[in-house]
Structure 1
């Protein structure tokens, strides 16, 4: 359920809205993701947006949650709007109109929403439960000391590898970047490649490489992904491309474990959400790894993303919207557990809920939770689409051998800084 996946083709659900009124479900008869639909007779009708999760059962689950809420609060009807495709662009456009949703989710939380006054501060919703949220779930939604969302789930991204394939080749699961490059090369054959990072050959790798070499992306409001550590790390990714060790242009992208399951590659970057499918297909013939340290002095890293529920600060139903968010993501621990465990696999942001998640208590899932706690890194709150695109374009040119890493990253950092300055102004 990573935010990076909202634009990808796995989002195959139809756009539409469903109304939950007094515990009943009725079609809102709209193919417009901004809403439409009928009145329920309740005093207030909330429009709640979700991106079209690909995991089976997710749409039915959010409808069930909405039904439970309206049963407890019959004066508030809920219209669930399921938005496929480029969710972020659709959300950004709709927030500028009178049809903006009352409650919506954000993947990879952006500070810009708070600074533009588009989302409401939600400190008053947490109460004593605040201490029960993990540090990442609080820090990622904090802007100038205030909390602007409630994290619904944590997504962890890491390496999967086929134990039997590496063992047969006499390869130890790589724990350094040099070892990763060597393993990917040795595991590549005329028919198959050794590693899948994404169809573009990059995925999250350029970000991970920088973190693993002690660098950062944005610090104190400044784009710093052109630092010497960053230049060295991104330039180092070219080795994987020069060796032709990477699977490119597969039928699905990195978020889907098909390449690993179908034995197209023995190592793949993906997310915790894919683990149930991998376990079903491979049994215990897989392991998990962080992105390894780039060199001595660096550190392994896994990426932590996820989705955050926010309230439209400019809407006319802020109080009711806050009530819905508080009820679902703070008060209903059973539903929070269901959301994280029953549809793919994710880490509940509430520590008490995570502690009761049986599927996270053993094996590779438990190891992944431990990796997230030890090595987890999240993108900064100023990592907007414009900033990310500037960085990714530079990284692609570098690994493609089009020029010097310092030149491309310095240029991209200047472009990114312009956008960051706008965000912070």
Structure 2
């Protein structure tokens, strides 16, 4: 049986393009966190209104992710990525012209959400799995580190220019970057087909079909993953949407708060790359346990002592955990359910992450408008971190029992 061998140059080019796409994806998603306060002040909107826009974005992008995953399983992801990037860039550009909440919800919450899902971890994770089947953890971590770099570079760039170009100019500048990235996408090679990957798996004695989607969603492991990713998503997008505003409320200048958010991306880069090495050596459970252990500590710290110093420490430590679970999605799915339905199952799990993220973003705005601070949200974040740690430990116990 013929084993497909990938030319190294083509594989590295695919990895580089995936990195750049997720750089744009991460930077464009989190720009709303940087612009939250100036938009609210300029348009005279409440933070709840803008948080609702983020919530709609998260829910819409979440609902469409399994569909995107299914398309990526069945067709060449290149076409999906090009179309999605063009629509994403156009909708971001139009965000610079909005005047009403309806326009923000339509452009950012719906159109940008649909297209952003097309350049997200789900289709790119499938793409990476086809080109790097033997080093999936590390390759996926390198690609997803682009989201951390995007958060660092794009947010730093926009923070430096925000006082000059304003929040409207920030969206238009970001859209220009998206249109430029279409060029390398045009030269993306055709990945191995699903059948070729299945042949590889069979040659190594790997079962790539373990009962399909209907069987997977009836397992205990699947629902444990759903809980873990729901908690992670709620926390991530609460922090991403509100940390700049929270830091400003506690006395940090707007530029310092924006730069702090950007540096979170740098620390996230370290975290996600370390995750790749740990995953290929020890599996995905260990880095997930580390992720929630760190979050228990830092959420408790900022809940009890919300000072500028602890906020900086919180942001940097949380940043390390920010991208840890992202590259692990396809690793968890492949490990427990095989490769045949990798895209759709990963899409369902990421859908949960996104939907819960929308709830977390909205909850932050609603609690702030009701109480004038974020204290009650931080209490819940500590509780949820403990819950997620416990569920992750159940996966660890399952692996230990199976190894005996």
Structure showing greater Rg: 1
Q: Pick the structure with more strand per residue.
A: 1
Please confirm whether the aligned pair reaches a TM-score higher than 0.5, indicating the same fold.
Answer: no
**TM-score, L = length of structure 2:** 0.27
Point out which structure has higher relative CO (alpha carbons under 8 A, 6+ apart).
2
